[in-house]
Amino acid sequence: MMKPRIQAAEQDPKVRSHNFEEVCLGYKPEEAMEEASRCLHCKNPHCVGACPVGIDIPGFIAAVKDGRFDEAASVIARDSSLPAICGRVCPQETQCEGSCVLGIKGESVAIGKLERFVADYCEQKQCETKAKGKKVAIVGSGPAGLACGGDLAKMGYDVTIFEALHKAGGVLRYGIPEFRLPKDSVLERELGKIRSLGVKIETDVVIGRTLTIDQLFENEGFSAVFIGTGAGLPRFMGIPGENLNGVCSANEFLTRNNLMQAFREDYDTPVRTGGRCIVVGGGNVAMDAARTALRLGAETSIVYRRTEAELPARKEEVHHASQEGIEFRMLTNPVEILGDDKGNVTAVKCIRMELGEPDQSGRRSPVPVPGSEFEIPADTVIMALGTSPNPLITSTTDGLEANRKGCIVASEDGATSRPGVFAGGDAVSGAATVILAMGAGRRAAQAIDNYLKTI
Protein backbone atom coordinates (compact mmCIF):
# COMPACT_ATOMS: atom_id res chain seq x y z
CA MET A 1 0.00 0.00 0.00
CA MET A 2 1.31 3.41 -0.92
CA LYS A 3 1.42 5.90 1.96
CA PRO A 4 -0.62 9.06 1.32
CA ARG A 5 1.13 12.40 1.06
CA ILE A 6 1.50 14.31 4.34
CA GLN A 7 -0.56 17.48 4.01
CA ALA A 8 1.01 20.68 5.26
CA ALA A 9 -1.23 22.74 7.51
CA GLU A 10 -3.01 25.71 5.94
CA GLN A 11 -4.88 28.68 7.34
CA ASP A 12 -8.66 28.17 7.25
CA PRO A 13 -10.02 29.69 3.98
CA LYS A 14 -12.68 31.66 5.90
CA VAL A 15 -10.05 33.23 8.12
CA ARG A 16 -7.36 33.79 5.51
CA SER A 17 -9.69 35.51 3.03
CA HIS A 18 -9.57 38.44 5.47
CA ASN A 19 -5.85 38.58 6.14
CA PHE A 20 -2.53 38.74 4.32
CA GLU A 21 -0.72 36.10 6.42
CA GLU A 22 0.82 33.15 4.59
CA VAL A 23 -1.74 30.56 3.46
CA CYS A 24 0.42 27.43 3.79
CA LEU A 25 2.04 26.96 7.18
CA GLY A 26 4.62 24.36 6.08
CA TYR A 27 5.82 21.10 7.62
CA LYS A 28 6.97 20.49 11.18
CA PRO A 29 10.25 18.45 11.41
CA GLU A 30 8.52 15.13 12.08
CA GLU A 31 6.07 15.71 9.22
CA ALA A 32 8.94 16.48 6.84
CA MET A 33 10.77 13.28 7.88
CA GLU A 34 7.61 11.26 7.37
CA GLU A 35 6.96 12.76 3.93
CA ALA A 36 10.63 12.25 2.96
CA SER A 37 10.30 8.57 3.81
CA ARG A 38 7.86 8.21 0.89
CA CYS A 39 10.62 8.83 -1.68
CA LEU A 40 11.49 5.63 -3.59
CA HIS A 41 15.04 6.83 -4.46
CA CYS A 42 14.68 5.82 -8.09
CA LYS A 43 17.90 4.75 -9.81
CA ASN A 44 17.11 7.19 -12.58
CA PRO A 45 15.37 10.05 -10.80
CA HIS A 46 13.14 11.90 -13.29
CA CYS A 47 12.56 14.70 -10.79
CA VAL A 48 16.15 15.94 -11.09
CA GLY A 49 15.91 16.15 -14.87
CA ALA A 50 12.65 18.09 -14.56
CA CYS A 51 14.17 20.70 -12.21
CA PRO A 52 15.41 23.74 -14.18
CA VAL A 53 18.43 24.04 -11.86
CA GLY A 54 18.93 20.26 -11.42
CA ILE A 55 18.78 20.05 -7.60
CA ASP A 56 19.84 16.60 -6.28
CA ILE A 57 16.32 15.93 -5.04
CA PRO A 58 16.70 12.31 -3.85
CA GLY A 59 19.95 13.39 -2.15
CA PHE A 60 18.40 16.12 -0.05
CA ILE A 61 15.28 14.06 0.66
CA ALA A 62 17.42 11.18 2.00
CA ALA A 63 19.02 13.60 4.46
CA VAL A 64 15.61 14.97 5.53
CA LYS A 65 14.33 11.44 6.12
CA ASP A 66 17.11 10.87 8.67
CA GLY A 67 16.64 14.25 10.28
CA ARG A 68 19.97 15.54 8.94
CA PHE A 69 18.43 18.87 7.92
CA ASP A 70 21.68 20.86 7.71
CA GLU A 71 23.07 18.31 5.32
CA ALA A 72 19.88 18.54 3.24
CA ALA A 73 20.39 22.32 3.07
CA SER A 74 23.97 21.83 1.84
CA VAL A 75 22.76 19.52 -0.93
CA ILE A 76 20.18 22.07 -2.11
CA ALA A 77 22.66 24.97 -1.81
CA ARG A 78 24.91 23.32 -4.42
CA ASP A 79 22.29 24.10 -7.09
CA SER A 80 19.89 26.73 -5.75
CA SER A 81 20.44 30.08 -4.06
CA LEU A 82 16.79 30.78 -3.18
CA PRO A 83 15.20 27.55 -1.90
CA ALA A 84 12.76 29.22 0.53
CA ILE A 85 11.32 31.09 -2.44
CA CYS A 86 11.33 28.25 -4.98
CA GLY A 87 9.75 25.86 -2.50
CA ARG A 88 6.86 28.30 -2.40
CA VAL A 89 6.40 29.59 -5.94
CA CYS A 90 7.76 26.95 -8.37
CA PRO A 91 5.14 25.14 -10.52
CA GLN A 92 6.21 21.80 -9.04
CA GLU A 93 3.31 19.92 -10.64
CA THR A 94 4.79 20.50 -14.10
CA GLN A 95 8.41 20.03 -12.97
CA CYS A 96 9.87 17.81 -10.22
CA GLU A 97 6.61 16.56 -8.73
CA GLY A 98 5.07 16.13 -12.18
CA SER A 99 7.84 13.63 -13.03
CA CYS A 100 7.76 11.74 -9.71
CA VAL A 101 7.08 8.01 -10.24
CA LEU A 102 4.76 7.96 -7.21
CA GLY A 103 2.50 10.39 -9.03
CA ILE A 104 1.58 7.81 -11.70
CA LYS A 105 -0.66 5.80 -9.39
CA GLY A 106 -0.98 8.07 -6.40
CA GLU A 107 0.41 11.33 -5.06
CA SER A 108 3.96 12.44 -5.86
CA VAL A 109 6.40 13.26 -3.06
CA ALA A 110 5.76 16.85 -1.85
CA ILE A 111 9.18 17.99 -3.08
CA GLY A 112 8.31 21.70 -2.99
CA LYS A 113 7.05 21.57 0.59
CA LEU A 114 10.18 19.62 1.63
CA GLU A 115 12.48 22.13 -0.06
CA ARG A 116 10.66 24.95 1.69
CA PHE A 117 10.93 23.17 5.04
CA VAL A 118 14.68 22.70 4.70
CA ALA A 119 15.21 26.32 3.66
CA ASP A 120 13.09 27.71 6.49
CA TYR A 121 14.67 25.40 9.07
CA CYS A 122 18.36 25.85 8.28
CA GLU A 123 20.80 28.70 7.90
CA GLN A 124 22.56 29.24 4.55
CA LYS A 125 25.66 27.15 4.08
CA GLN A 126 28.65 29.41 3.48
CA CYS A 127 31.55 28.44 1.30
CA GLU A 128 35.09 29.82 1.36
CA THR A 129 35.90 32.15 -1.54
CA LYS A 130 38.99 33.91 -2.79
CA ALA A 131 38.51 37.43 -4.11
CA LYS A 132 39.10 37.62 -7.85
CA GLY A 133 39.39 41.43 -7.97
CA LYS A 134 36.95 41.92 -10.84
CA LYS A 135 33.65 43.79 -10.70
CA VAL A 136 30.42 42.48 -12.18
CA ALA A 137 27.24 44.55 -12.42
CA ILE A 138 23.84 42.90 -12.25
CA VAL A 139 20.83 44.86 -13.51
CA GLY A 140 17.67 43.93 -11.64
CA SER A 141 17.34 42.26 -8.25
CA GLY A 142 14.73 39.67 -9.19
CA PRO A 143 15.22 35.88 -9.30
CA ALA A 144 17.62 35.91 -12.29
CA GLY A 145 19.81 38.68 -10.89
CA LEU A 146 19.93 37.27 -7.35
CA ALA A 147 20.85 33.78 -8.58
CA CYS A 148 23.51 35.14 -10.94
CA GLY A 149 24.92 37.56 -8.34
CA GLY A 150 24.93 34.92 -5.60
CA ASP A 151 26.90 32.47 -7.75
CA LEU A 152 29.40 35.09 -8.92
CA ALA A 153 30.00 36.22 -5.34
CA LYS A 154 30.66 32.61 -4.32
CA MET A 155 33.24 32.46 -7.11
CA GLY A 156 34.95 35.52 -5.63
CA TYR A 157 33.75 38.35 -7.88
CA ASP A 158 32.90 41.81 -6.56
CA VAL A 159 29.18 41.96 -7.37
CA THR A 160 26.84 44.99 -7.35
CA ILE A 161 23.16 44.57 -8.11
CA PHE A 162 21.33 47.69 -9.39
CA GLU A 163 17.60 47.91 -8.66
CA ALA A 164 15.26 50.56 -10.09
CA LEU A 165 12.70 50.36 -7.29
CA HIS A 166 13.32 51.34 -3.67
CA LYS A 167 13.35 47.75 -2.41
CA ALA A 168 15.12 44.67 -3.76
CA GLY A 169 13.53 41.46 -5.00
CA GLY A 170 11.97 42.36 -8.36
CA VAL A 171 8.80 40.35 -8.98
CA LEU A 172 9.28 38.63 -5.60
CA ARG A 173 8.79 42.09 -4.06
CA TYR A 174 6.24 43.86 -6.25
CA GLY A 175 4.41 40.91 -7.81
CA ILE A 176 3.95 37.97 -5.46
CA PRO A 177 1.69 38.78 -2.50
CA GLU A 178 2.52 38.46 1.17
CA PHE A 179 0.14 35.50 1.68
CA ARG A 180 2.13 33.44 -0.82
CA LEU A 181 5.62 34.76 -0.13
CA PRO A 182 6.04 36.59 3.19
CA LYS A 183 8.33 39.57 2.68
CA ASP A 184 10.03 39.90 6.08
CA SER A 185 10.38 36.27 7.11
CA VAL A 186 11.22 34.81 3.70
CA LEU A 187 12.27 37.39 1.08
CA GLU A 188 14.31 39.60 3.44
CA ARG A 189 15.97 36.53 4.89
CA GLU A 190 16.98 35.25 1.43
CA LEU A 191 18.21 38.74 0.47
CA GLY A 192 20.22 38.79 3.69
CA LYS A 193 21.90 35.54 2.68
CA ILE A 194 22.81 36.98 -0.74
CA ARG A 195 24.18 40.13 0.93
CA SER A 196 26.18 38.02 3.38
CA LEU A 197 28.00 36.56 0.37
CA GLY A 198 29.34 40.08 -0.21
CA VAL A 199 26.83 41.17 -2.87
CA LYS A 200 26.02 44.90 -2.76
CA ILE A 201 22.46 45.92 -3.69
CA GLU A 202 22.02 49.53 -4.88
CA THR A 203 18.34 50.49 -4.98
CA ASP A 204 16.94 53.62 -6.73
CA VAL A 205 19.22 53.22 -9.75
CA VAL A 206 17.44 52.88 -13.11
CA ILE A 207 19.93 51.43 -15.58
CA GLY A 208 19.22 53.05 -18.94
CA ARG A 209 18.38 56.36 -17.22
CA THR A 210 20.43 57.00 -14.05
CA LEU A 211 23.41 55.15 -15.54
CA THR A 212 23.73 53.47 -18.92
CA ILE A 213 25.26 50.05 -19.62
CA ASP A 214 28.15 51.86 -21.36
CA GLN A 215 28.79 53.99 -18.28
CA LEU A 216 28.97 50.86 -16.12
CA PHE A 217 31.92 49.70 -18.24
CA GLU A 218 33.56 53.06 -18.95
CA ASN A 219 33.09 55.04 -15.72
CA GLU A 220 32.21 52.57 -13.00
CA GLY A 221 34.90 49.95 -13.62
CA PHE A 222 32.75 46.88 -14.25
CA SER A 223 34.21 44.10 -16.41
CA ALA A 224 30.93 42.34 -17.18
CA VAL A 225 27.21 43.06 -16.91
CA PHE A 226 24.27 40.70 -16.44
CA ILE A 227 20.82 42.01 -17.42
CA GLY A 228 17.99 40.40 -15.50
CA THR A 229 15.36 43.09 -15.84
CA GLY A 230 12.43 40.72 -16.20
CA ALA A 231 9.24 41.33 -18.12
CA GLY A 232 7.56 44.22 -16.42
CA LEU A 233 5.58 45.94 -19.16
CA PRO A 234 1.85 45.30 -18.73
CA ARG A 235 -0.41 44.43 -21.66
CA PHE A 236 -3.89 45.80 -22.15
CA MET A 237 -6.65 44.35 -24.32
CA GLY A 238 -7.16 47.36 -26.56
CA ILE A 239 -10.95 47.31 -26.03
CA PRO A 240 -13.16 50.40 -25.61
CA GLY A 241 -13.37 51.77 -22.06
CA GLU A 242 -10.00 50.43 -20.96
CA ASN A 243 -8.85 53.88 -19.81
CA LEU A 244 -11.88 54.41 -17.55
CA ASN A 245 -11.19 55.11 -13.88
CA GLY A 246 -11.19 51.80 -12.04
CA VAL A 247 -9.37 49.82 -14.72
CA CYS A 248 -5.76 48.99 -13.95
CA SER A 249 -3.07 46.47 -14.82
CA ALA A 250 -2.41 43.62 -12.40
CA ASN A 251 1.11 45.04 -12.17
CA GLU A 252 -0.22 48.34 -10.84
CA PHE A 253 -2.66 46.68 -8.45
CA LEU A 254 -0.08 44.24 -7.09
CA THR A 255 2.68 46.87 -6.89
CA ARG A 256 0.42 49.14 -4.85
CA ASN A 257 -0.27 46.27 -2.46
CA ASN A 258 3.03 44.41 -2.30
CA LEU A 259 5.80 46.97 -2.84
CA MET A 260 3.78 49.94 -1.57
CA GLN A 261 1.91 48.03 1.16
CA ALA A 262 -1.47 49.64 0.40
CA PHE A 263 -3.25 46.93 2.40
CA ARG A 264 -1.69 48.32 5.58
CA GLU A 265 -3.46 51.21 7.31
CA ASP A 266 -0.20 52.93 8.23
CA TYR A 267 1.03 53.31 4.62
CA ASP A 268 -0.02 56.28 2.44
CA THR A 269 -0.60 54.29 -0.78
CA PRO A 270 -4.20 54.37 -2.01
CA VAL A 271 -5.74 51.31 -3.65
CA ARG A 272 -9.17 50.90 -5.15
CA THR A 273 -11.22 47.70 -5.33
CA GLY A 274 -14.80 48.89 -4.90
CA GLY A 275 -17.43 46.34 -3.92
CA ARG A 276 -17.13 44.22 -7.07
CA CYS A 277 -13.86 43.42 -8.79
CA ILE A 278 -13.28 41.56 -12.04
CA VAL A 279 -9.87 40.12 -12.87
CA VAL A 280 -9.23 39.29 -16.52
CA GLY A 281 -6.77 36.43 -17.16
CA GLY A 282 -5.95 32.93 -15.95
CA GLY A 283 -2.30 32.90 -14.90
CA ASN A 284 -0.61 33.08 -11.51
CA VAL A 285 -0.71 36.87 -11.65
CA ALA A 286 -4.49 36.80 -12.17
CA MET A 287 -4.86 34.51 -9.13
CA ASP A 288 -2.62 36.77 -7.04
CA ALA A 289 -4.58 39.88 -8.05
CA ALA A 290 -7.96 38.24 -7.41
CA ARG A 291 -6.97 36.87 -4.01
CA THR A 292 -5.56 40.27 -3.03
CA ALA A 293 -8.78 42.07 -4.10
CA LEU A 294 -10.79 39.53 -2.10
CA ARG A 295 -8.71 40.18 0.99
CA LEU A 296 -9.28 43.91 0.55
CA GLY A 297 -13.00 43.19 0.79
CA ALA A 298 -14.21 42.98 -2.81
CA GLU A 299 -16.51 40.36 -4.23
CA THR A 300 -14.14 39.02 -6.87
CA SER A 301 -14.52 37.06 -10.12
CA ILE A 302 -11.95 35.78 -12.57
CA VAL A 303 -12.91 36.05 -16.23
CA TYR A 304 -11.02 33.70 -18.57
CA ARG A 305 -11.63 32.99 -22.24
CA ARG A 306 -10.81 29.26 -22.12
CA THR A 307 -11.87 26.57 -19.62
CA GLU A 308 -10.53 25.63 -16.21
CA ALA A 309 -8.42 22.88 -17.81
CA GLU A 310 -6.41 25.50 -19.73
CA LEU A 311 -5.79 27.88 -16.80
CA PRO A 312 -2.02 28.51 -16.89
CA ALA A 313 -1.81 29.17 -13.12
CA ARG A 314 -0.34 26.66 -10.65
CA LYS A 315 -3.00 24.16 -9.57
CA GLU A 316 -2.48 25.04 -5.92
CA GLU A 317 -3.25 28.71 -6.61
CA VAL A 318 -6.46 27.92 -8.49
CA HIS A 319 -7.50 25.56 -5.71
CA HIS A 320 -6.71 28.13 -3.00
CA ALA A 321 -8.52 30.88 -4.90
CA SER A 322 -11.72 28.89 -5.32
CA GLN A 323 -11.57 27.71 -1.68
CA GLU A 324 -11.43 31.35 -0.63
CA GLY A 325 -14.55 32.22 -2.59
CA ILE A 326 -13.32 33.64 -5.89
CA GLU A 327 -15.86 33.06 -8.63
CA PHE A 328 -14.47 31.59 -11.89
CA ARG A 329 -16.28 32.64 -15.06
CA MET A 330 -14.80 30.48 -17.77
CA LEU A 331 -15.25 30.76 -21.57
CA THR A 332 -15.92 34.47 -21.10
CA ASN A 333 -14.06 37.34 -22.76
CA PRO A 334 -14.48 41.10 -22.22
CA VAL A 335 -15.31 43.12 -25.33
CA GLU A 336 -15.93 46.52 -23.73
CA ILE A 337 -15.75 48.23 -20.36
CA LEU A 338 -18.72 50.42 -19.55
CA GLY A 339 -18.65 53.51 -17.35
CA ASP A 340 -20.85 56.25 -15.92
CA ASP A 341 -20.83 59.94 -16.89
CA LYS A 342 -17.99 60.61 -14.44
CA GLY A 343 -15.79 58.04 -16.18
CA ASN A 344 -15.97 55.38 -13.47
CA VAL A 345 -16.35 51.70 -14.34
CA THR A 346 -19.87 50.27 -13.92
CA ALA A 347 -19.77 46.96 -15.81
CA VAL A 348 -17.83 44.74 -18.16
CA LYS A 349 -19.49 43.70 -21.37
CA CYS A 350 -18.42 40.14 -22.17
CA ILE A 351 -19.01 37.59 -24.89
CA ARG A 352 -19.28 33.83 -24.40
CA MET A 353 -16.60 31.71 -25.97
CA GLU A 354 -16.34 28.11 -27.11
CA LEU A 355 -13.24 26.04 -27.74
CA GLY A 356 -12.27 25.54 -31.37
CA GLU A 357 -9.22 24.00 -33.08
CA PRO A 358 -5.89 23.73 -31.20
CA ASP A 359 -3.51 26.66 -31.84
CA GLN A 360 0.33 26.65 -32.12
CA SER A 361 0.64 26.10 -28.35
CA GLY A 362 -1.49 22.96 -28.63
CA ARG A 363 -4.28 24.53 -26.58
CA ARG A 364 -7.71 24.69 -28.16
CA SER A 365 -8.27 28.28 -29.16
CA PRO A 366 -11.35 30.09 -27.91
CA VAL A 367 -13.86 31.36 -30.48
CA PRO A 368 -16.59 33.92 -29.66
CA VAL A 369 -20.23 32.78 -29.80
CA PRO A 370 -22.02 35.38 -31.97
CA GLY A 371 -24.76 37.34 -30.24
CA SER A 372 -23.93 36.05 -26.76
CA GLU A 373 -22.86 39.37 -25.24
CA PHE A 374 -23.84 40.05 -21.64
CA GLU A 375 -22.85 42.45 -18.86
CA ILE A 376 -21.23 41.78 -15.49
CA PRO A 377 -21.53 44.68 -13.01
CA ALA A 378 -18.16 45.83 -11.67
CA ASP A 379 -16.51 48.72 -9.82
CA THR A 380 -12.96 47.78 -10.72
CA VAL A 381 -11.33 45.73 -13.48
CA ILE A 382 -7.84 44.33 -13.21
CA MET A 383 -6.10 43.30 -16.43
CA ALA A 384 -3.80 40.30 -15.90
CA LEU A 385 -3.00 39.51 -19.51
CA GLY A 386 0.72 38.93 -19.30
CA THR A 387 3.72 41.21 -19.55
CA SER A 388 6.57 41.90 -21.96
CA PRO A 389 10.17 43.02 -21.36
CA ASN A 390 10.78 46.69 -20.63
CA PRO A 391 12.55 48.46 -23.54
CA LEU A 392 14.41 50.86 -21.22
CA ILE A 393 17.77 49.10 -21.58
CA THR A 394 17.58 47.86 -25.17
CA SER A 395 16.61 51.36 -26.32
CA THR A 396 19.56 53.00 -24.55
CA THR A 397 22.32 50.46 -25.27
CA ASP A 398 23.93 50.46 -28.72
CA GLY A 399 24.58 47.06 -30.22
CA LEU A 400 22.34 45.13 -27.83
CA GLU A 401 20.07 43.07 -30.04
CA ALA A 402 16.41 42.50 -29.17
CA ASN A 403 13.79 40.51 -31.08
CA ARG A 404 10.43 41.66 -32.41
CA LYS A 405 8.77 41.02 -29.03
CA GLY A 406 11.34 43.20 -27.25
CA CYS A 407 13.17 40.25 -25.66
CA ILE A 408 16.95 40.53 -25.50
CA VAL A 409 18.58 38.03 -27.87
CA ALA A 410 20.90 35.76 -25.86
CA SER A 411 22.46 32.32 -26.23
CA GLU A 412 21.65 29.41 -23.92
CA ASP A 413 24.36 30.59 -21.50
CA GLY A 414 23.21 34.21 -21.62
CA ALA A 415 25.75 35.79 -24.02
CA THR A 416 24.21 38.74 -25.91
CA SER A 417 25.28 40.54 -29.08
CA ARG A 418 27.52 42.82 -26.94
CA PRO A 419 30.76 41.31 -25.61
CA GLY A 420 30.77 41.28 -21.81
CA VAL A 421 27.01 41.79 -21.62
CA PHE A 422 24.96 38.77 -20.56
CA ALA A 423 21.22 38.45 -20.02
CA GLY A 424 18.73 35.93 -18.72
CA GLY A 425 15.33 35.35 -17.19
CA ASP A 426 12.11 36.95 -18.41
CA ALA A 427 14.07 39.74 -20.15
CA VAL A 428 15.23 37.06 -22.62
CA SER A 429 12.44 34.47 -22.54
CA GLY A 430 9.41 36.72 -22.02
CA ALA A 431 7.29 36.17 -18.91
CA ALA A 432 7.98 32.72 -17.39
CA THR A 433 8.69 31.40 -13.90
CA VAL A 434 10.93 32.26 -10.97
CA ILE A 435 12.85 29.00 -11.22
CA LEU A 436 13.53 29.30 -14.97
CA ALA A 437 14.87 32.82 -14.36
CA MET A 438 17.09 31.49 -11.56
CA GLY A 439 18.37 28.72 -13.83
CA ALA A 440 19.21 31.28 -16.53
CA GLY A 441 20.96 33.48 -13.94
CA ARG A 442 23.09 30.58 -12.76
CA ARG A 443 24.10 29.53 -16.30
CA ALA A 444 25.02 33.14 -17.05
CA ALA A 445 27.17 33.29 -13.88
CA GLN A 446 29.16 30.33 -15.21
CA ALA A 447 29.47 31.96 -18.64
CA ILE A 448 30.57 35.28 -17.08
CA ASP A 449 33.25 33.42 -15.09
CA ASN A 450 34.49 31.77 -18.31
CA TYR A 451 34.44 35.13 -20.13
CA LEU A 452 36.31 36.97 -17.38
CA LYS A 453 39.03 34.33 -17.37
CA THR A 454 39.73 35.16 -21.05
CA ILE A 455 40.08 38.95 -20.71
Partner 1 sequence: MFEILKKEMLTPSVCRMVVSAPLVARAAKPGQFLIVRPDEKGERIPLTISDFDSEKGTVTIVTQSIGVSSAKINDKAERDCFADVVGPLGLESEFVSFSQERYAAEHYVFLAGGVGTAPVYPQAKWLKEHGAKVDVIIGARSENLLIYTEEMARVCDNLYICTDDGSKGFHGLVTAKLKELVSEGVKFTMVVAIGPMVMMKFASLTAKELGLPITVSLNMLMVDGTGMCGACRVSVGGKIRFACVEGPEFDGYLVDFDEAIRRQKQYAVEEKEAMEKHVCKIGRGR
Given the rule CB under 8 A, which residues bind partner 1?
A: 164-166, 174, 203-206, 209-211, 232-234, 236, 238, 242-243, 245-246, 248-249, 251-252, 255-256, 259-261, 266-272, 342-343, 390-392
Pick the closest to residue 342 from 297, 301, 379 (CA basis).
379
Nearest distance, CB of residue 174 and partner 1, angstroms? 8
Nearest distance, CB of residue 433 and partner 1, angstroms? 19
Per DSSP, the three-state class of 29 is helix
Nearest distance, CB of residue 232 and partner 1, angstroms? 4
The strand ranges marked E within 326-425 are: 327-329, 332-339, 345-358, 364-368, 374-377, 380-383, 387-388, 421-423
Nearer to partner 1, 392 or 432 (CB): 392
Nearer to partner 1, 175 or 424 (CB): 175
Nearer to partner 1, 405 or 453 (CB): 405
DSSP 221-260: --SEEEE-----EEP----TTTTSBTEEEHHHHHHHHTTS
Question: Residue 310, Cβ neighbours under 10 Å: how many?
Answer: 17
Helix axes 57-65, 29-36, angle to 10 degrees: 120
Nearer to partner 1, 156 or 386 (CB): 386
Nearer to partner 1, 11 or 212 (CB): 212
Nearest distance, CB of residue 275 and partner 1, angstroms? 14
Nearest distance, CB of residue 245 and partner 1, angstroms? 5
- 200 vs 350: CA distance, rounded Å: 49
Helices (H), 140-220: 143-155, 171-174, 188-196, 213-218
Nearer to partner 1, 83 or 232 (CB): 232
Nearer to partner 1, 325 or 391 (CB): 391
Q: How far is the CA of 298 from the CAs of 243, 275, 311, 387, in angstroms? A: 21, 5, 22, 25
Handedness of CA 428, 443, 113, 48 (dihedral sign): positive
